[in-house]
Amino acid sequence: MTPVLAVRGLAYAYPDGRQALFGANLSIQRGERVALLGPNGAGKTTLALHLNGILTPGAGSVSVSGLPVTKPNLAEIRRRVGLVFQDPDDQLFLPTVAQDVAFGPANLGLRGAELEQRVQEALLAVGLPELRDRAPHHLSFGQRRRVALATVLAMRPEILVLDEPTSNLDPASRRELAEVLESLDVTVLMVTHDLPYALQLCPRSVILSDGVIVADGPTGELLADAELLAAHRLELPYGFSVV
């Protein structure tokens, strides 16, 4: 089967010369939920920004369901790869929730009843249909994160990429987001250093360290390997047990 996401030999250096990725390889099949783990500065977000063409590789390649992530394909790639940024305010900029959710599909040419269906479908998926006429900046942070997710779901992506989805969330908002993510029928790549959340939501994890993927396997097995975690500056919360 053609993987829904294939990263091959991906290398990238920022304009200041700092090398962020050194030949990363990753393959994800349709329907998988995978956590991309690593300490701050490991290159996780840099890798994520290559998946829909925000960054261009210095070497290597990325493809989505066999379609190369290259300039001629960017419009289709950005429909297929839904990237939810760490800060929801980077994605919410219109007067109402419904307008924000409609923005992407409208740019695809959807109008009228079909566009309204996309909006309603996405807001139902994140459990917030009653907020459609609210101003995003009046919502709680957890609600804004779910609305940002809805703006991506409205595009019906093949793969959902979440960058640090639990950052700045209180416990109730973490739980509500987890319930939403567990209900979705979509391939997920979750970029996080929140190890318990990865264990809860993602059967498979990969560890990115210093720009290279150093481990790939069942999340529970990786998190039970204390030496592996310590070697790559990953720590479980105090008192948390994987078993």
* CATH number for the domain harbouring residue 87: 3.40.50.300
pTM: 0.94
- Residue 69 · residue 56 · CB < 8 Å: no
Q: Which of 224, 218, 175 is nearest to 197 (CA)?
A: 175
- Mean pLDDT calculated for residue range 175-185: 96
70 is a domain residue: yes
- Mean pLDDT calculated for residue range 170-187: 95
End-to-end Cα, the chain, rounded Å: 33
- Residue 137 · residue 169 · CB < 8 Å: no
- Mean pLDDT calculated for residue range 153-179: 95
Tell me the torsion sign for CA atoms 226, 230, 234, 237: positive
Residue 193: its pLDDT value, please?
A: 87
238 is a domain residue: no
Residue 241: its pLDDT value, please?
A: 83
Residue 168: its pLDDT value, please?
A: 93
Task: With a cut of 90, say whether residue 242 has pLDDT above it.
Answer: no
16 is a domain residue: yes
**What's the pLDDT band for 191 if we cut at 50, 70, 90?**
very high
DSSP state of 87: S
Separation of alpha carbons 102 and 211, rounded Å: 36
**What's the pLDDT band for 53 if we cut at 50, 70, 90?**
very high
239 is a domain residue: no
Contacts of 229 (CB under 8 A, 6+ apart): 195, 222, 223, 235, 236
**What's the pLDDT band for 58 if we cut at 50, 70, 90?**
very high
- Mean pLDDT calculated for residue range 227-239: 93
Tell me the torsion sign for CA atoms 13, 58, 48, 102: positive
241 is a domain residue: no
Residue 40: its pLDDT value, please?
A: 86
Residue found by looking up tokens 């783990």 in the block: 37
187 is a domain residue: yes
**What's the pLDDT band for 185 if we cut at 50, 70, 90?**
very high
Look at the chain and report how many structural domains it folds into: 1
Strand order from edge to edge, sheet including 67-68: 19-28, 5-13, 59-64, 67-68
Domain that includes residue 206, residue range: 5-231
Task: With a cut of 80, say whether residue 145 has pLDDT above it.
Answer: yes
243 is a domain residue: no
Task: Give the angle subtended at the CA of 225 by the CAs of 219 and 229, to the nearest 5°.
Answer: 90
